[in-house]
Structure 1
């Protein structure tokens, strides 16, 4: 597996802005760290089919730029104060600069795909970004509402799943595999599993490990799977009196007590098991399977 230090170094190298504030914002965001799961997925899918994955490194950087741009924009939309254990970029640099800085990350990612990829790679990643943007709008208009399970998955498939899809699809494509569309499709399940675990950790995770306060989703009025999985056991009026309100802690504890967190983790494993079943038929898949399992075993 490519070391995170190499990815981080390339992320700084390719950033290369002419405006100092963009560089400062980029360094602040990159140096905050992160799991880098999307670029690592791309590289490991490529490695399943090719001995030479150098060709995919700039594109792996590009996929992480897109993810970082979405986080910068999300923090402005959500009014976030912390990200990865320290002050969010919007708190340091201001909302206007962060929105424009996020735009630079998007543009640089597309530049990397145009220079180091091919037309199909550009199409895959553009498809993902369109899906992601629309789903984030869906999430925005759903705040404060009890949504259906179908609506929930529609939101997370775009918000999270689409970029996982692009990561895996591009990895297979650049390795010369004819199965790149299949990897794009199953990437959605990996993204689902990742987001489901995120949602479970928001209810029952450690703030020290998460790098942000637990219970953010309830505070923002986001209806996620832990709540949805037990909603039939709760009085909806009672839920709405606490959903996004100051007394939301009582709701969080009730969801945990009714098994909402365990239900969510179980559903995440179901998504990952489908992917493991598919990739197991390929040679050199053992390292990739370990990576898939780490998506649902994590505690941050």
Structure 2
């Protein structure tokens, strides 16, 4: 059973990050926008205030459950590269968090998830219908807020993004169980996760009227960061830790073909591959089977492989920051990239 942080495996994988930076917390990285993040938190919570009490309850349940707020932070950091952070930037950051939260509510219904952010998933408490409709409300709320900014480019960015995210959900849903195609996996995580990271960073730059080439650089930075974030998240699913906010082995239980499992299937012996493919097609996977798969993943160094792939994306993200204006915001973006690779939850 894996009990240590995967950070140990990759301390020297990307840009030789100093050990003192490996355990840094997101709030320390974002301290230069700390007051704005605090204000954003108030906006996120207090603006959910409808006459429908169940809607307020469901939305607050997931919004108050925590989360790193990395996506809205990208909006604020990108914007602060070029100008001081104003209310418009805060509102776009709020939109990004609402969009992300809406997808979580929908994802949990599709996946039949039991937990989210170390607590019961909304669907487990109020049912699938309330979860789906609350997600719909947050999507509608987000786009209504965007229209008040009267910025067509931002509206185009976010509408493009939500379209891609929906495509990612359908692609994952229709993917054949047991598919071991790494490129399909990468396409899914780009659509479901990375494109919103990219759009968050791009939106902050667009709002601050940054030069187009820098807006594009920030978009690429965000996309690479998002790819790495999801790959690390998928690797952590095979790491037993209460810090991750979800049960150990959730992806395998839901028969999701994530990168550690794909790598394992490609590299294990023929009889082991047959065992894995048969197992994935079963409707229920027990704890002993999970333990056996986890041991195989350790033996074939599938987590290490996944983190090296994540490291490639972090290297790309850091390369994009080289053309950005120097200062605290750029420093935070670089530290954030290293944090994503070294995080333990």
SS state at 1:50 partner: coil
| Structure 1 residues 138-164: Cα deviation after superposition (integer angstroms, max 9, x where no partner) | 111226222311101110000101111
* Alignment of structure 1 residues 53-68 onto 2, 5 Å: 53-68=86-101
Q: Does 1:187 align with 2:187?
A: no
CA distance in 2, matches of 1:117, 1:76: 33
Distance 1:39 1:71, change over 3 A: same
The aligned residue for residue 128 of structure 1 is 161
Deviation at 1:185?
A: 3.1
The aligned residue for residue 20 of structure 2 is none
The aligned residue for residue 200 of structure 1 is 235
Q: Does 1:239 align with 2:276?
A: yes
* Alignment of structure 1 residues 1-300 onto 2, 5 Å: 1-3=33-35, 4-116=37-149, 118-142=151-175, 144-178=177-211, 179-206=214-241, 208-234=242-268, 235=270, 236-243=273-280, 245-246=285-286, 247-282=289-324, 283-284=326-327, 285-300=330-345
Does the 8 Å CA contact 1:85/1:212 hold for their aligned counterparts?
Answer: yes
CA distance in 2, matches of 1:281, 1:271: 17
CA distance in 1, matches of 2:89, 2:180: 39
4+ residue stretches of structure 1 with deviation over 3 A?
2-5
| TM-score, normalised via structure 2 length | 0.83
Does the 8 Å CA contact 1:72/1:99 hold for their aligned counterparts?
Answer: yes
CA distance in 2, matches of 1:255, 1:293: 24
| Structure 1 residues 75-106: Cα deviation after superposition (integer angstroms, max 9, x where no partner) | 11111111111111111111101100100000
Unaligned runs of 5+ in 2: 1-32
CA distance in 1, matches of 2:312, 2:127: 41
Does the 8 Å CA contact 1:43/1:53 hold for their aligned counterparts?
Answer: no
Moved more, 114-123 or 33-42: 114-123
**Size of the alignment, in residue pairs?**
299
Does the 8 Å CA contact 1:143/1:222 hold for their aligned counterparts?
Answer: no
CA distance in 1, matches of 2:248, 2:91: 34
Q: CA RMSD in A?
A: 1.6
| Structure 1 residues 232-256: Cα deviation after superposition (integer angstroms, max 9, x where no partner) | 2223312112226332431222012
Does the 8 Å CA contact 1:164/1:190 hold for their aligned counterparts?
Answer: yes
Does the 8 Å CA contact 2:62/2:122 hold for their aligned counterparts?
Answer: yes
| Structure 1 residues 110-150: Cα deviation after superposition (integer angstroms, max 9, x where no partner) | 01111125110011111111111111111112262223111
Does the 8 Å CA contact 1:10/1:61 hold for their aligned counterparts?
Answer: yes
